[in-house]
Structure 1
Amino acid sequence: MTIATTPRRGASRRALIAAAAGAALARPAFAQEWPTRPLRIIVPYTPGGTTDIATRLVAEPLSRVLGQPVVVENRPGANSIVGAAAAATSAPDGYTLVMVLPAHAANATLQAGKMPFDALTSFAPVSLVVQAPLVLAGSRHVPAEDFRGFVDYIRARPGRVNYGSSGIGATAHLAMEQLALRLNLRMEHVPYRGTQPALQDLMAGNIGLMFDTYSTLKPQFEAGNVRPLGIATVTRPDFAPNLPTIIEAGLPDFAASSWCMLLAPARTPDAINERIAREVRAIVMEPTMKKRLEDLGFVAEGRAPAPTGEFLRAEVARWGEVIRTANIRVE
C-alpha cells in the first residue's frame, strides 16, 4: 500500500526558492556566454553604398566591445530580398543580423506574397541605427528657383515634368509619389539603375527634380549644378542649417528619410537584441562618431528594439498606403 505524504511547509518553500534562484541564474548565464564566436551583419546591397558604409562604421567598434569579430557580408539582389532572406532563415542565436533600408518596408507591399519571408514577423527588431533625411533637388534647366516655384511650374505642365529615382520602390521614388499626392501634382517617373545616372540626367536637364540624401547632393549644390529645394525633416538638421525644410516651404508635416536598421531572425533572444541595441546606441552617440555620421548626412538614432519595431511597422503602413494609392507596381 502506498501512503501519500504531504511535504513539510518549510521544505516546500525551500524547494520553490531554490527553483526560482536556479531560473534567475540561468538567464544571466546565457547572456554572459554570448558571444563566443564571430557575428555577421548581412548587408543586402553591394559594397560602398550608404548601407554598407553605415554598417562598417558600426561593425568595427561593436566587435571591440563584444570581444568578437563582426563580419560584414554583402549579399545583394532583388532589391534587398536576397540578403534579408539569408538572415530570416539563419539560426536565431544572436550571431546573424541584417542591416535593412526602407526598401525592406516597401517590399512588404510591393512584393506581397512573393517573398520567402514576412518583412515583419520573420524578424526581431534590434536597432534603428541612423536616418538619412531626403533632400529635394531641382534642375537648373527649370525656370524656377525654389520649392514653391517648382510646384507652380509642375502644376502648369501636368504630366510633362519628369522626376528621377534610383529605382521603383526606392525611398526617393515613394517620397516623390507621396509629395505628388499631397500637392495633387502629375509627374512622370523615370526609374534609373542607381542614383548616379539619375543625378547626371538631373544636371543635364533630362529630368526636372529628384529626392536623394544630402551627402549625395551636397557636392552638386556647392558646385551650382543643381538647386537645393528643401530637406524633408521636421527641423533643419545640424549638418544642413542653411537648407530650408519642405515644411517651411508650406507643406505641413512632410518628412521622409532613408534609414539603416538592424534586424535579427525572429525568436532571437530578447536579452541579446537588447544588448546589441545598447552597444549600438553608445557607438553612434559617441561624439566623434556622431560628428562623423553627420558629415555623411546621417542623423544618429540608436533606438531600442521596441521603438525600432514600432518605427518599422509605421514605415510598412506608410509606404504601403502610398504604393496602393499611386498604383505602383514592380515590372
Structure 2
Amino acid sequence: MNVAPASAQAGNYPDRPIKLIVSAAPGGTTDLTARMIAEPLGRALGQSVVVDNKPGGAGTIAAQLVTRSEADGYTLLLQYSGYQVITPLITPNLSWDPIKDFAPVANVLSAPQVLVVRSDLPYKTLKELVAADKKEPGKLNYASSGVGSLQQVSTELLNQMAGTKFTHIPYNGTGPAMKDLLGGSVDMTMTTPPPLLPQIAAGKLRPLAMTGKSRLPSLPDVPTAAEAGFPDLLVSSWFAMYAPAGTPPEVVNKLTKEIEAIMKTPEFRKKAESLGAEAQYMGPAELGDFTKQELKRWDTVVKAANISVQ
C-alpha cells in the first residue's frame, strides 16, 4: 500500500497541478467524462487538473501507473467500469487489485447500453430478434470492442436470460466494431449511446432496447429492456474516479465534495444528457460498495459464458 507524505495530509492540498490518468484513448466516453470533470474541478481547487490518456491492456496500463504513484492526491485515475470490474475477472495474474489498490473518490457518469441492429435487417423489437435467433441459433452475430468488454458481457447476459446464442465477434476497440457493423459484416451490438446516436439519427442503425431503468431523453422512443420483456437486463457503464490506496481521507473528501457540487450544476447535467448519460454521483463509501457488488455480479456472468483472456 502507498504511504502518503506528510505534506498531503496538511491543509494546503492541492498546491500544484493534479494529473488525471485516463484508461482510454481520446474521444471515447471515458475520455469525455475526464475532460468534463477536469476543467471545473481545476477551477474549484485552484490548480489545473491535467488529463493524461494512457490506454491499453484493458485498463491495466493506467491502473498500474496510478497504483505505483504516491498516495498524495496528485495522481488520480478516471476508470471505465468494464476495466475496473471485468478485466480483473478475466485476466490471470493481474498486477493490480480493483479493491485493495484504490481509494474510491466518486462516480461521475453512468450510461446505459443500447442494443442496435443494422437498419437493413427486419427486426423491429427485441422479442423479434430473440425469436429469430431461436429459429436459427448462432446465425446472428454481435460486435464488441474486445473480449471481456462490457459490450460482450452485456450481450452474454442477454444470451443467458433469453436462451439465445448470438455469436460474438470481438474487435480491437469500438471504432473498428462500428465500422464493420455499418459495413454489414456483423448484425448488432450493445454499447453506450455516444457512438450510436449519430448513426441512429442517420437511419443506419435501429435501436431495439436500452438497458437503463428509464428511457433516455435522447432516445425517447426506444423502450427499456424491461418494457421490451427483459426486466433483469439492467446494465450501465460507469465512469469513476479513484486515487491510490492510502490517500489521506481529507484529500479524498475534498475531491469528492467538489465533484459532487460540479455534478449538480445544470451545465454538467446537460453535457451528460447530450452523451446519452447521467450525472450519477456516488461518494467514496457508496462507490466502494458498488464496485464490490459489480465484481460479484459480473463474475457470475463471465463464468457462465466462459470468458477469459489467455
TM-score, reference length from structure 2: 0.93
Match of 2:91 in 1: 111
62, 77, 100: which one pairs with 2:79? 100
* Cα distance, 1:32 vs structure 2: 2.2
**What is residue 119 of structure 2 aligned with on the other side?**
140
Confirm or deny that 1:284 pairs with 2:263: yes
Root-mean-square deviation (CA, aligned residues, Å) is: 1.6
Could you say which structure has the greater relative contact order, defined with CA pairs below 8 angstroms and 6 or more residues apart?
2
Q: How does 1:312-323 map to 2 (within 5 A)?
A: 312-323=291-302
Larger radius of gyration: 1
Q: Which runs of 5+ in 1 are unaligned?
A: 1-26
- Structure 2 CA distance for aligned equivalents of residues 79 and 30 of structure 1: 32
- What amino acid does structure 2 have at the position aligned with 1:33? N
Q: CA deviation at 1:64?
A: 0.8
The 3-state SS of whatever aligns with 1:254 is coil
Aligned to 2:225: 246
* 8 Å CA contact retained: 2:78, 2:241: yes
C-alpha separation in 2, matches of 1:329 and 1:67 = 44
Structure 2: gaps of 5 or more residues: 1-5
Deviation, 1:237, is: 2.9
Map of 2:203 onto structure 1: 224
Aligned partners of 2:34 and 2:94: how far apart in 1? 24
Alignment partners' CA distance in 2, 1:309 and 1:254: 23
TM-score w.r.t. structure 1 length? 0.88
Counterpart secondary structure, 1:214: coil
Counterpart pick for 2:174 among 175, 195, 203: 195
The one-character-per-residue Cα deviations of 1:91-125 (angstroms, maximum 9, x if unpaired) are: 1111111011122210121114x222111111011
Aligned length: 303
Q: What's 1:255 paired with?
A: 234
After superposition, give the CA deviation of every residue in 1:224-250 in whole Å (9 maximum; x if it has no partner).
111110110111133332221111011
* Whole-angstrom CA distance in 2 between matches of 1:37 and 1:30: 14
Provide closer, same or farther for how the CA distance between residues 256 and 86 of structure 1 changes in structure 2, counting only shifts above 3 A.
Answer: same
Q: Distance in 1 between matches of 2:228 and 2:196?
A: 19
Cα distance in 2 for partners of 1:141, 1:328 equals: 30
Q: In the alignment, residue 58 of structure 2 is paired with which amino acid?
A: N
- SS for the counterpart of 1:264 is strand
Secondary structure in 1 aligned to 2:99? coil
Matches within 5 A, 1:293-304: 293-304=272-283
Alignment of 1:72-111 (within 5 A): 72-102=51-81, 103-111=83-91
